[in-house]
Amino acid sequence: MRKETGNQVAKTDNKPIPGNLISDIRRLIETARQNVAVTVNTGLTILYWQIGNRIRQDILKEKRAKYGKETVATLSQELTDDYGNNFNEKNLRRMIQFAEVFPDKEIVVSLIRQLSWAHFKEKPC
């Protein structure tokens, strides 16, 4: 059972825990969670740019539209089977578009500090 006592929280069966210790630890946990979310978003955004860039360079620059369209569809099926719906055809096309709009990786790295993948994919393909 917990009981609030001024600047500390007392437990009836344990020694009192200072309130500032609890709030400091909560702040540490929340900061770590936020840092993890930013790190994951950064990694995914770079990954999606790399995938889009690779597809754009290897397939679509050859200007074989029909071949490219079929290849993206086939690639999507393979990746979706292995890694889930984040790699469906629509998302792969978003990744390609992302790499086309931002062909320089350094620009993407700079923008990631301000924007998440959700911001980049807001505009539909």
48, part of any domain? yes
Residues 6+ positions from 68 with CB-CB distance below 8 Å: 59, 60, 62
Domain that holds residue 108: 2-120
pTM: predicted TM-score of the whole model, two decimal places: 0.73
pLDDT in tens, the chain (125 residues): 455 555 555 455 678 888 799 999 999 999 999 999 989 999 999 999 999 999 988 876 656 556 677 889 999 999 999 999 999 999 999 999 999 999 999 988 888 877 777 877 765 54
User: Which residues, other chains included, contact 70 with Cβ-Cβ below 8 Å and sequence gap of 6+?
Assistant: none
Angle at 117 between CA 48 and CA 59, to 5 degrees: 25
Report how many domains make up the chain. 1
Query: Does residue 77 lie within any of the structural domains?
Result: yes
- Here the tokens at position 46 are 């770079």
**Residue 125 in domain:** no
State the CB neighbour count (10 A cutoff) for residue 92. Answer: 22
If 0-12 CB within 10 Å is exposed, 13-18 middle and 19+ buried, where does residue 8 land?
middle
